Amino acid sequence: MKMHHRLSVLLLAAWAAFVPAQAAEAPASAPSKPGEQLLQALLAGKTSQAEEVQIGRRIAGNLLGAAPLVADETLQRYVNRVGRWVALQGERPDLAWHFGVIDSEDINAFAAPGGYVFITKGLYRRLNDEAELAGVLGHEIAHVQRKHHLKLLRQTQVIAALGGLLGSKVKDEEQLVQNLIGNGAEIAARSLDREAEHEADRMGLVLAARAGYDAYGLPAVLAEIGHVGRSDKRVSLLYKTHPLPAERLTRLGEAAGDRLDTLAPGQDGSGRFYRLP
Amino acid sequence: MSLYFAAPLSLAAALLLSVDAVLAMGTPPQAPPAADQPAATGSSMLKQDDLRAGPDANARILARLAQGQGVKVLASQGGWTQVSAAGQTGWVRVLSVRSPAGGVGLGEVVAPREAGKVVAVAGVRGLDEEDLRAARFDGGELRRLDGYALDREEAERFARAAGLLPRTMPYLKGPAPAREPANDPWGINP
């Protein structure tokens, strides 16, 4: 497609601009500092798992700076049990997965590279059972599995490299990671490709079903969110960064077709579901 | 696009940017329409589906409902929604029905859970873009998060105790890609 070829041309230009700057200080094959190595790995799309976790951890810490964990140990441990079990059904079962409920009335959920998954108290409050929780966490787990946010960061860094903003001048590695992700946790407010969201819906539904849950948990949550008025401030960030629930449900329905007909009913886990006090 | 990334962009680079690259960089997508949910005008079939005598793919077919046909949603069970249409009552797949609120059949039988409930929002920290951009790293909270993490064995123990039986199921396929594979060494183009 024409537009994508244009993007590729841009990437090539960015790469050409970036590589000589690196080569001036150290051979490109052996970057002298871990920070440079990280940047090069990101630009080349070859981030190691350790580097991915380093980036995700910074984003997670910043997000927690915007909204801390809900002070409820039972809740946090419960969400980790369900989330870790759902994550075991995917392709990256051995990542160090972390799940947290953050103290915000916004209705949203977030993922960061390396296995960090957050759901707001506002969204958790609207859940009806464990299968719905599993579906929401499954959607975020899918983003991590598919490295959707790393791809977003890579696009950004190619642009930044063009302007010579980044590079070998930054001494502090943590500062470099912060530079990579932008300001604070703003990456959490940025939109992924819409197809990435639909893909995460399809995968989230299946991950929850594989874990033994009712496959209709995620669709039920999307339908529930659809009841919240579009002008409600609690969904403004979610609606800005995601396709609308009706579109997501339509796309899920098209993808499911008759494929769920033969699936044995799963658990809804309503008896175990931890309700907020 | 954030200010952070706007500064270093040269004019030439800006001209090279394709529309979808700009979107992917976080430019706010088109704002949702100002109106709230559309008025309830009744449910309709999102796609053609068979109306069956029971909530089961093997149940007898009573009729074929066309896409767009109006239905009345009565109940739901598992992946099935009970509807009445054209004088008959039967079951269709839950994801085949669009509810008036713009959701799917499911949304209609799942009543809004906060009706009449006043949610206190005063003093609660929001999560808008400004909050996120201004957020400062909180190492203490991150360590708390670490403390709640489980290892694989603990998760498996939980599932066993809960009677959650893992099962195999392939991922659902998305729509066929409409574009030819791009020359894309970095895998950025979807």
Domain boundary among B55, B75, B109: B109
Residue B8 pLDDT exceeds 60: no
- Reported ipTM: the value is 0.84
Separation CA B146–CA B130 (nearest Å): 27
At A86 the pLDDT is 98
Separation CA A103–CA A119 (nearest Å): 9
> Residue A67 has which token pair?
């909204």
For the segment B87-98, what is each residue's pLDDT rounded down to a tens digit?
A: 999 999 888 887
- Say yes or no: B48 and B102 in one domain: yes
Separation CA A60–CA A76 (nearest Å): 15
**Which sequence spans correspond to the domains of chain A?**
15-256
In a domain, B121, yes or no: no
Residue B45 pLDDT exceeds 50: yes
Contacts with B, A 189-218, CB within 8 Å: 189-193, 195-196, 198-199, 202-203, 205-206, 209-216
Q: Please judge whether B187 and A252 are an interchain contact, meaning their C-beta atoms are less than 8 angstroms apart.
A: no
Q: Kindly report the number of other CB atoms within 10 A of residue A180's CB atom.
A: 23
What percent of chain B has pLDDT above 70?
56
> Residue A186 has which token pair?
């703003």
In a domain, B91, yes or no: yes
DSSP string, A202-269: HHHHHHHHHTTB-TTHHHHHHHHHHTS-TT-GGGHHHHHHS--HHHHHHHHHHHHTTTTTTSPP-B--
Query: What angle in degrees, to the nearest 10, is found between the helix axes of A173-181 and A34-44?
Result: 30
Q: Kindly report the number of other CB atoms within 10 A of residue A158's CB atom.
A: 24
Measured between beta carbons, which residues in chain B are less than 8 angstroms from residue A195?
Answer: 174, 190
Q: Please judge whether A216 and B78 are an interchain contact, meaning their C-beta atoms are less than 8 angstroms apart.
A: yes
Q: Within chain B, how many helices (H) and strands (E) appear?
A: 7, 7
Q: Please judge whether B106 and A264 are an interchain contact, meaning their C-beta atoms are less than 8 angstroms apart.
A: no
From A174's Cα to the closest Cα of chain B, the distance in A is 11
In a domain, B94, yes or no: yes
What is the domain count for chain B?
Answer: 2
Residues 6+ apart with CB under 8 A from A171: none
Q: Please judge whether B13 and A256 are an interchain contact, meaning their C-beta atoms are less than 8 angstroms apart.
A: no
Strands (DSSP E) found in chain B: 43-45, 49-52, 61-65, 70-77, 80-85, 88-93, 97-98
For the segment A53-69, what is each residue's pLDDT rounded down to a tens digit?
A: 999 999 999 999 999 99
From A35's Cα to the closest Cα of chain B, the distance in A is 19
Separation CA B159–CA A93 (nearest Å): 15
Q: Please judge whether B95 and A126 are an interchain contact, meaning their C-beta atoms are less than 8 angstroms apart.
A: no
Separation CA B175–CA A194 (nearest Å): 13
Residue A118 pLDDT exceeds 90: yes
Separation CA A250–CA A275 (nearest Å): 29
Question: HSE of A135 in the Cβ direction (CA atoms, 13 Å)?
Answer: 27
The pLDDT confidence band at residue A162, using thresholds 50, 70 and 90, is: low
In a domain, B60, yes or no: yes
Strands (DSSP E) found in chain A: 98-102, 109-112, 116-120
In a domain, B20, yes or no: yes
- Say yes or no: B22 and B48 in one domain: no
Residue A144 pLDDT exceeds 60: yes
Contacts with B, A 100-139, CB within 8 Å: 100, 103-106, 108, 116, 120, 126, 128
Give me the sheet containing A116-120, strands edge to edge. Answer: A98-102, A116-120, A109-112
Separation CA A114–CA A136 (nearest Å): 18
Do B57 and B116 form a contact (C-beta atoms < 8 A)?
no
Q: Please judge whether A97 and B149 are an interchain contact, meaning their C-beta atoms are less than 8 angstroms apart.
A: yes
The pLDDT confidence band at residue A38, using thresholds 50, 70 and 90, is: confident
Q: Residue with structure tokens 């230009």?
A: A13
Q: Please judge whether B103 and A105 are an interchain contact, meaning their C-beta atoms are less than 8 angstroms apart.
A: no
In a domain, B36, yes or no: no
Question: What CATH number is attached to the domain comprising B55?
Answer: 2.30.30.40
Residue B32 pLDDT exceeds 60: no
Domain boundary among B92, B109, B126: B109
Do A84 and A140 form a contact (C-beta atoms < 8 A)?
no
- Say yes or no: B14 and B69 in one domain: no
- State which residues form the domain around B7: 1-29
The pLDDT confidence band at residue B101, using thresholds 50, 70 and 90, is: low
At B1 the pLDDT is 38
Separation CA A159–CA A10 (nearest Å): 8
Task: Tell the burial category of B63 from Cβ atoms under 10 Å away from its Cβ (0-12, 13-18, 19+).
Answer: middle
Question: Over A176-190, what HEC string results?
Answer: HHHHHHCCCCHHHHC
Measured between beta carbons, which residues in chain A are less than 8 angstroms from residue B23?
Answer: 191
Mean pLDDT of the region A203-229: 92
In a domain, B62, yes or no: yes
For the segment A15-29, what is each residue's pLDDT rounded down to a tens digit?
A: 444 444 443 443 444
